[in-house]
Amino acid sequence: MKVAVVGATGMVGQMMMKVLREKSFPITELIPVASERSVGKTIDFGGMECTVVGLQTAIDMKPDIAIFSAGGGTSLEWAPKYVDAGIVVIDNSSAWRMDPTKKLIVPEINGDLLTSEDKIIANPNCSTIQLVLTMRPLHAKYGIKRVVVSTYQSISGSGVAAINQMENERNGIDGEMAYSYPIDRNCIPQCDDFLQNGYTKEEMKLTNETKKILDSKINVTATAVRVPVAGGHSEAVNIEFENDFDLSEVRLLLHNQDGITLKDDPTTNSYPMPLYASGKDDVFVGRIRRDESQANTLNLWIVSDNLRKGAATNAVQIAEILLKKGLVGVIA
């Protein structure tokens, strides 16, 4: 079982390799792939010393699966070339997510849809994953009409340059600016570029990807904010249902949903925080309460480690499904 990780030297790529090791994914050969400036470097993968190679060299090495986390432009150009060579691609960029011919997969929700016809499989946006995983059992039971979500997204979503900026600011060091404004002791209400409708790309990803994964009839509106947290995305979510609900049943539905951990006890000040989600694969849900201003409406708070479940773990779980279904490799 040969697996290529494209973008292996980046934050997400490194996390993907970490998760592959932790999950004991049956890899006989790891092929780390990166830009030309990193070619020739070595990466330790569970005791295996792996040499970083370029994109074409990786194709020539004929991996079974290639997990891409190298940006949309790279994916658009190279993913089809990998597919032409008989390699299944799991892509973490936004390049293929809204392509009607490609499936957008959260394994706990729609992993069963994968077939031998799926050669490029899209990994959703990190903020979308934690949102739809929480919505899924509630939509099945009560029918969701509308969702209003405000995100509090960690700077790790912008890469290592953003983390360096915050650390420099905290230590009084002048350095490269990943954002147009200081991030320490600040909140920036802009994640990604603005579009003509006044929303950012990140906000529209939440809208469009949720509709594609769950139900095109659900209305979604979002505000995405970057906050001075090193890792972990948080979301304040307001959900309006077609039908009324019982709070105890809501908690039970969420408790029974694979991939969700409830942390919801106001009597002990127990609620999800990035501090608790760090390094974990589950999505944490709490602050569950009725919206007293409107009928059939629920408020809750969702937190997840954006580099793990929001990127690496979700991609590896897709690879696990492909292996289990016999769509790649050989099952021992």
Do 291 and 238 touch, CB atoms closer than 8 A?
yes
**pLDDT at residue 330, as a whole number:** 57
Active-site pick, 50, 139, 191, 233: 233
Please report the DSSP string for 88-156 in residue order: EEEE-SSTTTT-TTS-B--HHHHGGG--TT-SEEEPPPHHHHHHHHHHHHHHHHH-EEEEEEEEEE-GG
Identity at 275, one-letter amino acid code: L
Residue 73: phi and psi, rounded to 5, are -60, -45
| C-alpha dist (Å) from residue 91 to 63, 73, 79 | 15, 12, 8
- Asked whether residue 210 carries a pLDDT value surpassing 80, the answer given is yes
Q: Which two tokens stand for residue 146?
A: 């509308």
> Is a pLDDT exceeding 80 seen at residue 232?
yes
**Mean pLDDT in residue range 139-152:** 98
- pTM of the prediction? 0.95
Average pLDDT of the segment spanning 69-89 = 96
Residue 44 has a CB neighbour count (10 Å cut-off) of 9
pLDDT at 331: 43
Active site residue 233: yes
Please name every residue paired with 297 in a beta bridge, in sequence order, or none if there are none.
240
Does residue 329 register a pLDDT over 80?
no
Q: Is the pLDDT assigned to residue 7 strictly greater than 70?
A: yes
Predicted pLDDT at 4: 98
Strand residues in the chain grouped as ranges (E): 2-6, 29-33, 42-45, 48-51, 65-68, 88-91, 120-122, 144-153, 219-226, 233-241, 260-262, 283-290, 297-304
pLDDT over 80 at 8, yes or no: yes
Percent of the chain with pLDDT over 90: 97
Q: So what's the pLDDT on residue 332?
A: 39
Is the per-residue pLDDT at 281 higher than 70?
Answer: yes
Query: At 296, phi and psi to the nearest 5?
Result: 55, 35
Q: Which of 50, 126, 139, 191 is catalytic?
A: 126
255 is annotated as an active-site residue:
no
Please name each of the domains of the chain with its CATH number: 2-124+311-324 (3.40.50.720), 127-306 (3.30.360.10)
What DSSP designation does 173 have?
A: -
Q: What is the pLDDT of residues 93-105, one digit of tens each?
A: 999 999 999 999 9
pLDDT digits (tens, 9 = 90+) for 81-90: 999 999 999 9
Note whether 132 and 124 are within 8 A (CB).
yes
CA distance 92 to 100: 17
Which residues are 150's β-sheet partners? 223, 236
Q: What is the mean pLDDT of residues 157-166?
A: 94
